[in-house]
Amino acid sequence: MWLVAGLGNPGREYDGTRHNVGFEIVDVLASQVGATPWKSWKKGLVAKGKLAGEDLILLKPQTFMNLSGDAIGPALGFYKLPLEQLIVVHDELDFELGDVRIKSGGGHGGHNGLRSIMNTSGRDFGRLRIGVGKPPKGWEGAKWVLSRFRADEEPLLDEATVRTCEAIGMIVKDGVSAAMNKFNRRLDKNNGGDPKCL
């Protein structure tokens, strides 16, 4: 069994914002795996499905980003899952829009959702980091992540969503290391589009 948590902020005013990319991707994943309808559970919304023959618990914390750990910690305890069976999907300011990278363990990099999870549960969990672009000149990071994607950015976001769902499937089937080897690369535009390992 795996717990896949998409990070974001609850409320319609945050729909479509860069900070809510985690919510949007687990919504797509829930649809792809034919998950049960979302239902309220403690401090989150939960849906259940199967992926690569494994039971899958999907979670969208309803605590606001800064307290994500208050929803994820109880879910890990209730389902008796080790931290290594947690995958967190979240936005990443340091990556170009549409970049998808997998990471296991490490620091929070200033991301308050990750900081909260680490404070309540530890740091040895898998992360899928979705690039939302660096703030333009004159923008504060906090305001940028609460801005919405432009129409011309949607195709890149759609591609990132597809890759992220594929990456989650590979993590569940083959483990984080195998998925990192496959997905932590980008196309070298100066070399005929051949993939280059980062």
Nearest Cα to Cα of residue 134 among 99, 183, 108, 88 = 99
Q: Is 19 an annotated catalytic residue? A: yes
- Residue 49 backbone phi and psi in degrees, to 5: -160, -165
> Catalytic pick from 19, 90, 108, 111?
19
Q: b or e along 91-108 (b: 16 or more beta carbons within 10 Å of the residue's beta carbon)?
A: bbbebebbbbbbbbeeeb
Contact present, 60 and 67 (Cβ < 8 Å): no
What is the sign of the dihedral through the CA atoms of 146, 38, 176 and 83? Answer: positive
Nearest Cα to Cα of residue 6 among 15, 21, 14, 18 = 21
Nearest Cα to Cα of residue 131 among 105, 110, 161, 107 = 161
Q: How far is CA 150 from CA 8, 120, 147, 153, in A?
A: 18, 35, 9, 5
Which residues are designated catalytic?
19
